[in-house]
Amino acid sequence: MRIPGSTTTPAATFVQEVTGEATRRWGVRGTDLGCPVRLADGRVAFFFGDTFRSRGRSGRGWRSPVMLRSTTTDPRGGIEFDSAAGGRTAREILPNAHDDGESPHRESAGSEFTVVPADAVTIGDRTYLSVVSVHSWASQAWPTNFTYLAWSDDGGEHWHRTCARWDNRGGSLDQLWTMERHEGYVYVVSSAFDRTNPGGMILRRVPEARILEPGVYEDWGWDRGTGWAWGQPATPILPGPVGEMCLRRIEGTWVLAYFDPTAYAIVTRTAQHIDGLWSEPTVQVAGGGWGAADGTWAQIYGGYIHPASTLDGLHLLVSQWNTTTGDPYRVLQFTTRLDVPVTSRAPTPSTALPLRVPHHGNGTG
């Protein structure tokens, strides 16, 4: 299946459902997201969003985020989990108000409906998790209150909330993160956590040792006089709207997987340089209707890359939620391969999207 301007590579193949009965022993049945990161000891942590003991997105045991661990070294045979943060029952690893009041009202930040994970990165013995405080799923400009970083240095068993926080100032493009390390920096691609916001994605970087200092983050932007450069006001690198994202560097190639709500698909792009030109999108998992027999999958989102992925064996974690019945509400595993086109070093000014966006951070680590 193609979208305008997309390239053609083999579509992703379904492997298995990774949640539900397989995770029931930890009180995790209905859940979503499952963004994975390798821990310092080599295990892989998976961070899930709103989680329930029942199959659907309702019932007992509502908590978020929760974390499961896996020692699966070859995901081709399917991802299996071994333990949970919290022991016998996967517990809520960070504070969550679970307030559905939407106060003071839906279109301004205020109460916290839930807290969801965005992405994580491990630096040395410590894992940092980007977390979103959700005000209202139904809000246009204020779906989030803020984004912050938390850390764990014991394999994800205990988490510490930090003061490194980025407030939503109304459509801010620094609310939904994905992160990856390279040559002493952490690179962050982020968006507005709003699948209707056309603002797109921005790129920032920060030295690994200063990841908890919002004021140190450096934007990648375009200016008519100097072209693209670090340290200029952020310019979107890719257009929106956009959903969940996952940035990883695989075999020397930058890979970005994300949910494209316009195409109704999980797509991938590749680049040779993080501050270079991205390929056209390739559809990996196409959305469709419930009961369709055309190879599409209904009501999908997510698209997280397993850290054991290669270019010939890319493993994606895709969420599916029937918003009418509430069930299924689960995470699925797909596998695919990537054809990597040759791209230029950096976008030309004519490809820039000259949109300045608010994304100022506040707080210190």
209: β partners: none
Helix/strand/coil for 353 = coil
H helix and E strand count, the chain: 0, 22
Least confident stretch, 65-79, 283-297, 332-346:
332-346
Region 116-133: mean pLDDT is: 98
Mean pLDDT across 302-329: 97
Q: What are phi and psi of 87, to 5 degrees?
A: 90, -125
Cα–Cα dist 112/97, whole Å = 6
pLDDT at 347 (0 to 100): 56
- C-alpha–C-alpha distance, residues 166 and 132, integer Å: 10
Helix (H) / strand (E) containing 83: strand 83-84
The pLDDT confidence band at residue 342, using thresholds 50, 70 and 90, is low
CA distance 114 to 137: 10
Q: Name the 3-class secondary structure at 1.
A: coil
**Is pLDDT of 93 > 50?**
yes
Q: pLDDT digits over 130-186, tens only?
A: 999 999 988 887 899 999 999 999 999 999 999 999 999 988 999 999 999 999 999
User: How much is the pLDDT for 341?
Assistant: 79
Q: Are 198 and 240 in contact (CB under 8 A)?
A: yes
Q: Which tokens in the block code for residue 246? A: 């996952």
Q: Is the pLDDT of residue 348 over 90?
A: no
Beta-bridge mates of residue 267: 258, 283
pLDDT of residue 100: 87
pTM assigned to the model: 0.93
Alpha-carbon separation of residue 313 from 108, 236, 336, 363 (angstroms): 43, 29, 6, 40
Measured CA to CA, the distance from residue 144 to residue 343 in angstroms comes to 35
The C-alpha atoms of residue 34 and residue 178 are separated, in whole angstroms, by: 13
Mean pLDDT, the chain, integer: 91
Query: How do residues 32-66 score in pLDDT, each as one tens digit?
Result: 999 999 999 999 999 999 999 999 888 889 999 99
Mean pLDDT of 72-94: 97
Q: What pLDDT sits at residue 11?
A: 84
Entry field: residues in the chain: 365
Q: Is the pLDDT of residue 9 over 90?
A: no
CA separation for the pair 267, 161 (Å, rounded): 32
What are φ and ψ of residue 208, in 5° steps? -50, -40
What mean pLDDT do residues 323-351 have?
80
Range 256-263 contact pairs with CB under 8 angstroms and sequence separation of 24 or more: 256/178, 256/189, 257/284, 257/303, 257/304, 257/305, 257/314, 257/316, 258/303, 259/195, 259/300, 259/301, 259/302, 259/303, 260/3, 261/195, 261/196, 263/3, 263/6
Q: CA-CA distances (angstroms) from residue 347 to 147, 192, 236, 239, 311?
A: 29, 22, 12, 14, 23
